[in-house]
Amino acid sequence: GNGISKSNLLQRCAQRYKIPIGFPAGNHPPTHPLCTSDTGIMTAQFATKRVLVTGSCGTIGRELIRRLIAMENGPAEVFGIDNNESALFMQGVDEGRDPRARFRLCDVRDVHALRGVMEGIDIVLHAAALKHVVICEEMPLQAFATNVTGLQNVIDAAIDCKVKRVIVTSSDKAVHPNSVMGLTKLLGERLISAANAGRRGGGTVLSSTRFGNVVGSSGSVFQIFQNQIRQGGPITLTSP
* 162 is a catalytic site residue: no
AA letter at 155: I
Angle CA(101)–CA(102)–CA(104) in degrees, nearest 5? 150
Q: Is 235 exposed, middle or buried (0-12, 13-18, 19+ CB in 10 A)?
A: exposed
Q: Which of 82, 184, 63 is nearest to 133 (CA)?
A: 184
- 69 touches 78 (CB < 8 A): yes
Q: How far from the centroid of its chain's Cα atoms is residue 61's Cα?
A: 8
Of 49, 131, 173, 185, which residue is the catalytic one?
Answer: 173
* Torsion angle of C-alpha atoms 70, 106, 146, 17, degrees rounded to 10: -100
Q: Which long-range contacts (CB under 8 A, 24 or more apart) does 170-176 make?
A: 170/29, 170/208, 170/209, 170/210, 170/211, 171/131, 171/210, 171/211, 172/210, 172/211, 172/212, 172/213, 173/133, 174/210, 175/210
The one-letter amino acid code at 112 reads H
**Which residues participate in catalysis according to the annotation?**
173
